[in-house]
Amino acid sequence: MAGLGKNYKAGEVIFRQGDTGNCMFVIQDGEVEAIAESDGREFRLRTMGRNDFFGEMALFEEETRTATIRTTKPTRILSIDKKNFLGGIYEDPSLAFRLVQTMSHRIRDLTERLARYEQQK
């Protein structure tokens, strides 16, 4: 009974690449994988665990989800409303600090991967 968020079984899809959305998610317990789908094939981008968040791009852009998120084990996830999040940032911009930090790490990770890919080409 205790514990916040919503429970998902292993292998459940939280959202699919191309879906529209207006919230982001924070993992309370468990693990998810981010998957890019192209030409019917799946590419695992990364896995995420407790306290990691995903789906944050939907808070800033009116675009569709860029990856599919699927649980790899029983997982509990808390959703963060766009209105609540942006209202919080309006009052206290430092609320976005952790989000910016994580997005910065992800850009760094993707840049390194792209460099490796270019070398292998």
Partner 1 sequence: MTLGDGARIAVIGAGPAGSMFSYFFLSMAETIGLDVAIDIFEPRRFCHRGPAGCNHCGGIVSESLVQRLATEGIRLPDCVVQRGIESYTLHMDVGDVEIATPLMEKRIAAIYRGIGPRSSEPLETHSFDGYLLDLATQKGARVIPRLVTGLRREEDSMRVQCADQFTDSYELAVVATGVNSRLTEMLERESGEFARPDRTKTFICEFHLGRKVIRETFGPSMHVFLLDIPRLEFAALIPKGDYVTLCLLGDDIDEALIDKFFSAREVRERFPDGVIPGHVCHCYPRINIRSASPVCGDRLVFIGDSGTTRLFKDGIGAAYRTSKAAAKTAIFHGVSAEDFGNHYAPLCRRINNDNRVGKLVFRFATLVQKARFARRGILAMTAHEQRQTDSPRRMSGVLWDLFSGSASYTDVFLRTLHPAYLGALLWNLVAANLPGSPSGNGRAEKGGHGHVRH
Q: What are the residues binding partner 1 (CB under 8 A)?
A: 1-6, 26, 28, 50-51, 53, 78-81, 84-85, 88, 91-92, 94-95, 98-99
A 10 A CB-CB count for 9 gives 9
Q: Are strands 75-81 and 68-71 parallel, antiparallel or unpaired?
A: unpaired
CB closer to partner 1 out of 90 and 117 = 90
- Residue 86: HSE in the Cβ half-sphere, 13 Å Cα cutoff: 11
- In whole angstroms, the minimum distance from the beta carbon of 42 to partner 1 comes to 26
Nearest to 21 by CA among 77, 70, 64: 64
Centroid of chain to Cα 120 = 28
CB of 3 to partner 1, least distance (A): 5
How far apart are CB 110 and partner 1 at their closest, in Å?
A: 22
For residues 106 and 48, the answer to whether their CB atoms sit within 8 Å is no
Q: Residue 64 or 88: which CB sits closer to partner 1?
A: 88
Least separation in angstroms between CB 69 and partner 1:
16
- Considering beta carbons, is residue 22 or 111 the nearer one to partner 1? 22
**69 is written with which tokens?**
């998120």
